[in-house]
Structure 1
């Protein structure tokens, strides 16, 4: 099977950046299998648009934005399908063996954050994006990014029982 140059370029990009993008997807979803599905969907969208993406330096941003958009869309669909129940579901932990207690507590606290807060924290502290970059990625104002990150950090500190700065 013969491939075109851009297909090889796409394959190289996925090979090189896939693990980092998967970590971002995991932080957005809070679950490894959901993260794989999210990344696959985002890479499918990227593959379809590959020839139209002129700035190859912006590929990570394109994929991250696709992941955020897809995750929010899925969350909105799920929100409509979920109904309150008197019984709590059993909690399943999918954390890798050997993970420290602090890391586990942080992962749990991140999973409990609302979608926008989680996305803002992941983009700011895991992807090391600036506030203007986060605002552009999430389609919100810089002020909203600042307040969202601040409120999210306060919730994380409370959940982890850390003192305020």
Structure 2
């Protein structure tokens, strides 16, 4: 009886992964890094890392989770770099944005990127992964390489900070999400 060698996924399957996974990966990246160009770079880096391991992937269905892990791992390493925290050389110094209202110019729509930018990187990552990517505490802990207790405490601290930043009129969950339908809403009127 001859053993049949298992084949790795094809380049066509990788192209399909990119097509299907890009929008979700980009949204996660944008919420993590707060910049469109950096988010695109982050997704491309994550997909390049995924492709570099492509021949070793046996379950194409798990490749999307692998790409998300590569994205979060890369973002975490970027957070640790000093240059990522806003220190970039420029010809002119930018004006400080001290009067920016996170609710935006109309007062009832929240500028999500501006609010998330005020959270610490790990708190921002936990909020994005738990509430926007709808991951469990365990999945979030695994992606970030921390304990479930750390995810829970960072989520609690992040929600406290969001309540402080957003003030009255914004409904935030009291604890970490337990269902797939947790939302963060504003109390403004919508026409």
TM bin, normalised by shorter chain, reads 0.7 to 0.9
Q: 1:5 to 1:138 in 2, by over 3 A?
A: closer
Distance 1:132 1:80 in 2: 27
1:56 to 56, 60, 77: 60
What CA distance in whole angstroms lies between the structure 1 residues aligned with 2:76 and 2:137? Answer: 19
Q: Are the aligned partners of 1:61 and 1:137 in contact in 2 as well (CA < 8 Å)?
A: no
SS across alignment from 1:103: coil
From 83, 87, 109, the counterpart of 1:102:
109
In structure 2, relative to structure 1, the CA distance for the partners of 1:152 and 1:58 (3 Å cut) is same
Pick aligned residue for 1:112 from 106, 110, 118: 118
Question: Which residue in the other structure is 2:103 paired with?
Answer: none
Count of matched residue positions in the alignment of Structure 1 and Structure 2: 152
Q: Tell me the equivalent position of 2:157.
A: 151
Q: Which runs of 5+ in 2 are unaligned?
A: 1-7, 101-105, 175-191
RMSD, matched Cα? 2.8
Distance 1:43 1:141, change over 3 A: same
Q: Map 1:3-82; keep pairs closer than 5 Å.
A: 6-78=10-82, 82=87
CA distance in 2, matches of 1:80, 1:108: 16
Q: Aligned-pair distance for 1:107?
A: 2.2
More helix as a share of residues: 1
Q: What TM-score, normalized to structure 2?
A: 0.70
- Larger RCO (CA within 8 A; separation ≥ 6): 1
Cα displacement (A) at 1:5 = 6.4
TM-aligned CA deviation for residue 70 of structure 1 = 1.1
Counterparts of 2:161 and 2:78, CA distance in 1: 24
Which residue among 137, 144, 147 is the counterpart of 1:138? Answer: 144
Specify every segment of 5 or more residues in structure 1 that has no aligned partner in the other structure, as ranges: 94-98
Q: Distance in 2 between matches of 1:134 and 1:109?
A: 21
